[in-house]
Amino acid sequence: MTLTPVESYAAIDLGSNSFHMIVANWVDGRLQIIDRMKEMVRLAAGLNEKHELSKDSMQQALECLQRFGQRIREIPQLNVRAVGTNTLRQARNSEAFMVQAYQALGHPIEIIAGREEARLIYSGVAHSRFDEVNQRLVIDIGGGSTELIIGRGYNAFFTESLYMGCVNMQQRFFDDGKIKAKKMRKAILYAMQELESLEMAYKKAGWDYALGSSGTIISIRDVIHAKGWCDYGITADALTHLCDDIIAVGDCELIDFPGLSERRKPVFASGVAILCGIFEALNLERINVSEGALREGLLYDLIGRVHDADIRDKTIMTLTHRYGVDIEQAERIRETAVNFFHQIQNDWGFDEKNDVKLLTWGALVHEIGLSVAHNQYHRHGAYLMANSDLEGFSRQEQIKLAMLVRSHRRKFPLEEFEVIHSSTRIQIIRLCTLLRLSVVLHRSRSSNCLPEIRITVNKDRIKLDFPARWLNQHPLTLVDLSTEQNFLQSAGIELIFC
């Protein structure tokens, strides 16, 4: 009897209010949750007026990550994914924190955009409560942001992330801990104001029912049920009763509701205010509650990557169609670049899975800027890659991809690679060099196949070996290679060809 191998995975969510980790096994195509860890770090409270994280907040976060790191030490690197959300998107010193966080956790941490966070939340909810028939509104109130998504089945149609969460709303309206009726109403109106730009579009799209997810909404449900105000989900009437009770208490520290944890108390009133604003703005009567959220979405996304169902591949192909990329030319360049990659993979220490993916994506979208203008199209393309909402991509991945597109032609902008962390900068420069060489060799855009070209490297020295007399028979390619030789030399890379 052959036993099915068990694959272990871990997803870590560095939220603005709390850090979560979920560990699971993938067995026979099913996810089995085997462990969960959660710590209230309240990272958003550590942001000062300059949007910098305080030393104390960073230290508390690092200690939490060390504990998480110990739990997942035996899980393969490729099977772990950690993401930072709103607070790390906002923090100006997030890069310094990320370096220390990597050391504490033992795994790299990605910062994801708000809409990507929303997509992952919806994925977690959809896998926890699958429904391929009804259209659903999903609401997730975090520490630094609130996500609202409309989707059906596993597909999200509308994804929005608003800069209001239970921590920053607490600081804005209840910073002294006192809860007055006027303060609560101001907080609710502020939430409604944040929703104003999407309210009509969401109502027009419609939904059959609404779901809430994550800690704030789960806590509200637990309190309401313990009070006996409704038997399932959260109703508008029950939420009104809860709001009145909070105002009657009058102080965040004195809130003592059944079902509410001690560490949730300081930000409970602000979370209730946000949900009240959402109910009022979207005319909700009841929402149900999902136990799945961002962590579960991360796990399923990660499993898809490992098992060749990577949402990022789909995103790149969607981009090529949207911007009218010459896919035949892109495929020619991709094929040559990947060929070169495999020839020198060991010499340059490339990662078989991640680096070849990045090179492939870069080849497929390197001409995307032509949709804007031919002049400086590599710069236009880089801007699109860095600033678009790309499903599945983290901020760091988009920057790397943008640099491949930016640097695939003309002067090699070595100084611009400073935006990429030093630990991966050399590898991205080398990937870019392979892309540049592939672009040069296919500049004629001919459908004729290239001959067998052998590439060898020795540190920053590259040698291309062509079949005898081939370069003499292709003088334009010879000139193009000579021009590229000068471009690379200015970047400290020596190119030899014969």
Residue-level pLDDT at 423: 80
Residue 487 lies in a domain: no
Separation between Cα atoms, residue 110 and residue 472, nearest integer Å = 48
Same domain, 248 and 184: yes
Q: Mean per-residue pLDDT for 111-134?
A: 93
Q: What is the mean pLDDT of residues 99-117?
A: 94
Q: Would you say residue 304 lies in a domain?
A: no
8 A C-beta contact, residue 150 and residue 250: no
Same-domain status, 231 and 333: no
Return the minimum-mean-pLDDT range out of 74-88, 124-138, 413-427, 480-494.
Answer: 413-427
Structure tokens at 195: 């929703």
In a domain, 463, yes or no: no
Domain for residue 267, yes or no?
Answer: yes
Same domain, 366 and 437: yes
> Could you tell me which residue, 281 or 28, shows the higher pLDDT?
281
Q: Are residues 194 and 80 part of one domain?
A: no
**Mean pLDDT, rounded, for 284-299:** 94
Token pair listed for 434: 């392979």
Tell whether 130 and 86 lie within a shared domain.
no
Residues 52 and 172 in one domain: no
The DSSP annotation for 267-320 comes to: GHHHHHHHHHHHHHHTT-SEEEEES--HHHHHHHHHHHHHTT--HHHHHHHHHH
Rounded to an integer, what distance in angstroms lies between the CA atom of residue 467 and that of residue 472?
10
Single out the residue of 336, 314, 315, 321 nearest to residue 368, CA to CA: 321
Is 60 exceeded by the pLDDT of residue 460? Answer: yes
Whether 491 is covered by a domain: the verdict is: no
Percent of residues, the chain, with pLDDT higher than 90: 82
Query: What's the whole-model pTM score?
Result: 0.88
Q: Which of the listed residues 58, 93, 112 is the one where a domain comes to its end?
A: 112
Average confidence (pLDDT) over 240-254? 94
Tell me which of 112, 138, 165 is where a domain ends.
112
What's the whole-number mean pLDDT along residues 171-197? 95
Q: What is the pLDDT of residue 285?
A: 96
Name the pairing type of β-strands 286-290 and 454-458. Answer: unpaired
Tell me, yes or no, whether 490 lies in a domain: no
Asked if residue 123 and residue 246 are part of one domain, the reply reads yes
151 and 259: one domain? yes
245 and 326 together in one domain:
no
3 pLDDT more than 70: no
pLDDT more than 70, % of the chain: 99
**Residues 401, 365 contacting (CB under 8 angstroms):** yes
CATH number for the domain harbouring residue 327: 1.10.3210.10
Q: Is residue 1's pLDDT more than 70?
A: no
Structural domain harbouring 343: 310-449
The answer on pLDDT for 345 being more than 70 is: yes
Write out the two tokens for 205.
């799209």
Query: Following CA atoms 309, 315, 316, 321 in sequence, which dihedral angle do they give, to the nearest 10 degrees?
Result: 120
Q: What is the mean pLDDT of the chain?
A: 93
Closest CA to 20 of 297, 209, 290: 297
Query: Of 50, 77, 112, which residue is a domain's last?
Result: 112
Query: What was the pLDDT predicted at 422?
Result: 81
Q: What is the CATH number of the domain that holds 34?
A: 3.30.420.40
CATH code at 275?
3.30.420.150
pLDDT digits (tens, 9 = 90+) for 402-426: 999 999 999 999 888 888 888 889 9
> Within this chain, do residues 226 and 121 fall inside the same structural domain, yes or no?
yes
Q: Token pair of 80, please? A: 């772990």
In a domain, 318, yes or no: yes
Predicted pLDDT of residue 420 = 86
Whether 216 and 228 map to the same domain: the answer is yes
Whole-number pLDDT of residue 162: 96
Does residue 112 have a pLDDT over 80?
yes
- pLDDT value at residue 2: 47
In a domain, 126, yes or no: yes
Exposure class string for 35-52: b at 16+ Cβ within 10 A, else e? eebebbbbbbbbbeeeeb
254-265 pLDDT tens trace: 998 998 988 899
Ranking 30-34, 66-70, 185-189, 362-366 by mean pLDDT, the lowest is 30-34
Give the residues across from 158 on adjacent strands: 150
Work out the angle between the directed axes of helices 395-406 and 422-441 (0-180°, nearest 10).
40
Q: Above 60 in pLDDT, residue 4?
A: no
Number of domains in the chain: 3
392 and 419 part of one domain: yes
